[in-house]
Chains A and B, each alone.
Chain A
Amino acid sequence: MTTGASEPLLALSNVNTFYGQAQVHFDLSITVARGHIVCLLGGNASGKSTTMKIILGLVKPRSGNVTFDGASLIGLTTPQIVRRGIASVPEARRLFADMSVRENILMGAFVRNDREAVAQDLDKMLTLFPKLGQRLSQRAGSLSGGEQQMVAMARALMSRPRMIVMDEPTMGLSPLYVDRVLELIRAINQEGVSVFMVEQNASLALEIAHEAYVLQTGKIVLSGPARALKDDPRVRDAYLGGSEAA
């Protein structure tokens, strides 16, 4: 479901990021087209999660630009970026453990002021994630990992975002829940929400993504349509750090 605009929804261009002296990103450029699912693949310490933090304004790049819907996000605070229409499903879900499931989901609508519509959206979440209905007044911290992932996704959707960024949404989940999460990401996307996800599990991510980028020690070593990358042996090589040999 593309809107027809040729301009990408999100674009990182020539981003260089440092933690102290150590450079994490080298001229990183990534684009997410409107209505697409884009995944960023890579092994440990490749700079994937930092890419997420750059988009959300939690880490500032030293140089380069990040634009969302044509406007630069550089210099904006995280809350300001969220108000522009980007929601996140953080790594390891990061629910508010001592708040109830209902409160967690409603926290997702923190930037909204239309109370009635928020209440309707909460009902909508319960049809999308029927299991959460019985859990609404439970402490979020008491749910299983898979259920927590559902809450995190519902929470992200509550802001009616134009794009959701997800950090390893399948991490630590049982195989049953992994399939369910992937299905949901596809469903969310079909509602018109663009998705940028960071994943270690390349074969799963490539199942649902439109495009993919492979990150290795801060550099994009491979990118293209997900279908094409699926059987590309270089993807696996990138994980094993043997790209020079390949």
Chain B
Amino acid sequence: MSSWLDYTINGLIVGNVYALVAVGLALIFGVSRLINFAQGSIYLVGAYIGWVAVVQLHTPLPLTIIVVAAAAAIVGLIIERFGLRPLQNSVRIAPLLATIGISFVLDQLVMLTFSPNPRALPSQLPDVRFQVGGGTIGPLDLLIAGVGLTSALLLFVFLRYSKLGWAVRAASQDRDAAMQMGVDVNRVNQAVFGIAAALGGVSGMLVGMYYNQIDTAMSLQATLKGVVAEVVGGAGNVPGAVIGSLLLGLVESYGVAVFGTSYRNLFAFLLLVVVLVLRPNGLFASARQAPPEPLTGTFIAPSRPVRIPWWALAVAAAGFAVLPLFPVSFYVLQTLINAWLLGMLALSLTLVAGTMGQVSLGHAALLAIGAYTSALLSLTLNVPVGLAVIGGGLMSAALGTLLISPSFRLRGHYVSIATLAIGEIVSLVILNWESVTRGPIGISGIPPLSVFGYDLISPTSIYWFSFAVMVVLALLQGRLLTSHLGRSFRAIRDDDIAARAYGLSLNRYKSLAFIFGGFAAGISGGIAAHLYSYINHETFNTQQSILALTVVILGGLGNVVGAMLGAVALVGLPEVFRIAAEYRILIYGIVLLLLVRFRPQGLLGTM
């Protein structure tokens, strides 16, 4: 009984921490209709500034909080001014992608400055526990609760009684009408980014103290949890975000109590998917509220794709095909094999995100499904590797489509959130389903690639095989896009209401897109598993999903040739310039930011 009280207290405390992140997300969503994927990075920055203040400057606790809030607010203002304001008049996807790019850049900067190793962040508070009822509570718990309540109160007073607060509320309900009352929307944006960043930074610092540990992995987790809490409470709804956060904290805490720590995140994401499916406007939204995001084609930059003559493509393909006949190094082949594998994933994503308009942030899950299926088929059932890889593709197509199907009725940002959550769920299921996936140990000793009994061991043969598979998939996809199916996909992307009015079934066409895309990604994952010979639940992570998205945007959303070109460019160029591995993610983030700002249609144009 006493432990239940402890779990409740823990849930509420963690919920308070989530609330500090989620409230900021809700404010920003309210004013800009933007899910700020950089919120977790600000939380990370807050934690590290807290570390600098406490460990190096030895500031007293109240001053630490002020320093962290102020520094984080400055970061927020910089993001708003230089990252997002220039994108005000661009397509709706641009700011979303920009916040993803910003989060990569910030996370990597923190990692490069402080090293990826975890650090201890002492709480500066006496380590005592008070007995409350049957449970215990410590000074840090009280501090977190106090910061949470104080922030909520200050925010309430700000929104209710200050002029700028009124402007924030008015702008979040009707931006144009607010402008017509004389509200300067840029100032409103500044205000909400500053507030959101200050709260997020303090939240990161408090979490660091709570667990006495900070590391760079905190960032993505915080963004995910904040987004879950915000969507549960209703996107843009500030009090809803607080309640959603407390609910999330409790659900996680009780889930951990019953099933164990490794299930914590699974509950968070299942809660998100359930809410997205049943009440996409959040638990507290009234029926009269507009459906989320009446987005149409403007989500993706329209452009005239660059026409590449077929003979040029044929020459390029032939060039890459005969490349191994020349004396090129193993290293070049290895790099290009990686590019071909990424190219297959990019083909899949460019179909789903570009042609179909479902911007998936969890595409790595399809790789994981394909990889695990192929590895397990060949290892435990002794299925020949060639067939096992195809089995991986089929499983990815089937399971991926099934998993994503609840989100078929969502649009725009909500698809991205749902796919991000589904990606996390797949990785968590792999982690926890030990009897099948071998859990955290991973699968080792995966047999090498072989086709019709011939083992593909030499880099040359692997190169040819993966290149051929990618080209075949690309040809199929090119054929698909010129058929009526491709037209239907684009019609749904550009205006799903109009498409439905013409009798197109969203479920059928979205399923078809995910089946084809899932197959290509699953094949890529399957081949990768046999190349690596060892995989675990972290082999295919969100970073790869984002890398794939960057590739697709670099090439031009929906552009088949662009996807392959993007893969070669993004895998190859860092190798050409011999950029050290730790700077690569930073470069990817910067590439994404520059693209969104200066060439949102990508190199070859969207289709």
The answer to whether B6 has its CB under 8 Å from any CB of chain A is no
Q: Which of B169, B176, B288 lies in contact with A141, CB distance below 8 A?
A: B288
Q: Which of A56, A95, A99, A110 contacts B163 (CB 8 A)?
A: A110
Contacting residue for B180 out of A82, A97, A103, CB 8 A = A82
Q: How many residues of A contact B (CB 8 A)?
A: 25
Which residues of chain B are near A97, meaning CB under 8 Å? 173-174
The docked-state distance in angstroms from the alpha carbon of A108 to that of B177 is 10
Cβ distance B580 to chain A, nearest Cβ, rounded Å: 44
B170 contact set on A, CB distance < 8 A:
96, 99, 107, 110
Closest residue of A by beta carbon distance from B173: A96
B182 with A82: CB separation less than 8 A: yes
Does the CB pair A78–B179 fall under 8 Å? yes
Rounded to whole Å, the gap between the CB of A38 and the closest CB of chain B is: 19
Chain B residues whose CB sits within 8 angstroms of the CB of A216 once the complex forms: none
B182 in complex: contacting residue of A94, A106, A111, CB < 8 Å? A111
Once bound together, how far apart are the Cα atoms of A77 and B183, in whole Å? 10
Question: In the complex, how many angstroms separate the beta carbon of A118 from the nearest chain B beta carbon?
Answer: 11
B296 to chain A, nearest CB (A): 15
A103's contact among B166, B177, B178, B179, by CB below 8 Å, is which?
B166
Question: Nearest chain-B residue to A142 (Cβ)?
Answer: B288
Q: Which residue of B lies closest to A97 (CB)?
A: B173
Query: How many chain B residues have a CB neighbour from A under 8 Å?
Result: 17
Question: In the complex, which residues of chain A have a beta carbon less than 8 angstroms from the beta carbon of B183?
Answer: 79, 110
Q: For chain B residues 163-192, which have a beta carbon within 8 Å of chain A?
A: 163, 166-167, 169-170, 173-174, 176-184
B239 to chain A, nearest CB (A): 11
B177: nearest chain-A partner, CB-CB: A94
The answer to the question of A90 belonging to the interface, with a C-beta cut-off of 8 Å to chain B, is yes
- Residue of B176, B181, B288 most packed against chain A (CB within 10 A): B181
Interface centre among A83, A96, A111 (most CB of B within 10 A): A96
Count: A-B pairs, CB below 8 Å: 63
B184 — which chain A residues lie within 8 A by C-beta?
Answer: 77, 79
Query: Nearest Cβ in chain A — how far from B26, in angstroms?
Result: 13
From residue A123, how far is it (CB to closest CB) to chain B in Å? 20
Provide the residues of chain B in CB contact with A51, threshold 8 Å.
none
Contacts of A110 in B (CB 8 A): 163, 166-167, 170, 181-183
What's the Cα separation between A95 and B174 when bound, in Å? Answer: 8
Given contacts A103-B166, A107-B166, contact A56 B173 (CB under 8 A): no
Instruction: Indicate if the CB atoms of B177 and A58 lie closer than 8 Å.
Output: no
Q: How far apart sit A184 and B288, CA to CA, in the bound complex (Å)?
A: 30
- Chain A residues with Cβ below 8 Å from B169 are 96, 98-99, 103
Residues of B within 8 A of A88 (CB): 180
Q: A96-B169, A99-B169, A110-B167 are in contact. Are A83 and B177 (CB under 8 A)?
A: no
Chain B residues within an 8 Å CB radius of A99: 169-170, 173
Known: A99-B170, A110-B167. A82 touches B181 (CB 8 A): yes
Per-residue interface assignment for chain A, residues 54 to 67, with 1 indicating a CB less than 8 Å from any chain B CB and 0 otherwise: 00101000000000
- Check if A155 sits within 8 Å of B179, measured CB to CB: no
User: Which residue of chain B has its CB nearest to the CB of A93?
Assistant: B177
Assess A94 versus B174: contact at CB under 8 Å? Given A99-B169, A110-B166: yes
List residues 133-148 of chain A with CB under 8 A from any CB of chain B: 141
Shortest CB–CB separation between residue B291 and chain A, in angstroms?
Answer: 15
Between B163, B179, B183, B288, the greatest number of chain A beta carbons within 10 A of the residue's beta carbon is seen for B179
- Residues in A with CB closer than 8 Å to B180 are 56, 58, 78, 82, 87-88, 90, 94
Chain B residue with the shortest CB-CB distance to A52: B180
Q: Given that A99-B169, A110-B163 are known contacts, is A90 also in contact with B177, CB under 8 Å in the complex? A: yes
A95 and B169 CA atoms in complex are apart in Å by 12
Instruction: Scan residues 29-65 of chain A and give those whose CB is less than 8 A from a CB of chain B.
Output: 56, 58
Residues of chain B within 8 A (CB-CB) of A96 are 169-170, 173-174, 177-178
User: Do A79 and B182 form a contact, CB below 8 Å, given A99-B169, A103-B166, A107-B170?
Assistant: yes
16 extra A-B contacts, CB within 8 A, seeds A78-B180, A79-B183, A159-B181? A77-B179, A78-B179, A82-B181, A90-B176, A94-B176, A94-B177, A96-B173, A98-B173, A99-B169, A99-B170, A106-B166, A107-B181, A108-B181, A110-B167, A110-B182, A155-B181
> Which 6 residue pairs across A and B have the least CB separation, nearest first?
A111-B182, A82-B182, A94-B177, A78-B179, A96-B173, A88-B180
Q: Name 18 interchain pairs, CB-CB below 8 A, sorted by A.
A: A56-B180, A58-B176, A58-B180, A78-B180, A82-B182, A87-B180, A94-B176, A94-B177, A96-B169, A96-B173, A96-B174, A99-B169, A99-B170, A107-B170, A108-B181, A110-B166, A110-B181, A155-B181
